[in-house]
């Protein structure tokens, strides 16, 4: 049986965290939930998610600053980090590029649209994710 893609969702808004997590679980992803960016670097090293879906506006440590701590070259293995925000798409994509995130997923009230955007964002990285999952076995 193939290992499920493990997604860590980090969001300080409880409703967004629960809804997003439930949508991903319904699609067959294994979901790890975090309500705070504080401590997330350790959780990433411990839990080794394949993807981190990261809210950018959190108290204590913003998502873009967290990417600078755990992004490419900072942790092993490096998860695919996607920023998650209600900011306009062009702003979110520009921020993702500046901080080193793999991409961005806009928050939306439409569950099907969220899943489409999420899967589109990780689609470009799917081959790398599959390789990383095989190495972990």
| Domains in the chain, CATH or no CATH each | 6-126 (3.40.50.2300)
- In which residue ranges of the chain is pLDDT below 70? 1-2, 58-77, 124-137
Q: How far apart are CA 103 and CA 122, in angstroms?
A: 8
């899943």: which residue's tokens?
Answer: 115
Percent of the chain with pLDDT over 90: 36
Q: Is the dihedral of CA 64, 67, 68, 71 positive or negative?
A: negative
Model pLDDT, residue 69: 62
């Amino acid at each position: 049986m193939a290992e499920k893609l493990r997604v860590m969702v980090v969001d300080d808004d409880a409703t967004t965290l629960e809804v997003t997590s439930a949508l991903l679980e319904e699609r067959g992803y294994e979901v790890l939930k975090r309500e705070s960016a504080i401590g997330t670097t350790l959780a990433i090293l411990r839990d080794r998610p394949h993807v981190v879906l990261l809210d950018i506006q959190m108290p204590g440590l913003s998502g873009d600053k967290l990417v600078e701590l755990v992004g490419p070259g900072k942790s092993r293995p490096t998860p695919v980090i996607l920023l998650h925000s209600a900011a306009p798409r062009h702003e979110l994509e520009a921020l993702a590029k500046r901080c080193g995130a793999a991409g961005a997923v806009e928050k939306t009230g439409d569950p099907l649209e969220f899943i489409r955007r999420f899967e589109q964002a990780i689609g470009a990285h799917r081959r790398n994710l599959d390789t990383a999952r095989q190495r972990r076995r």
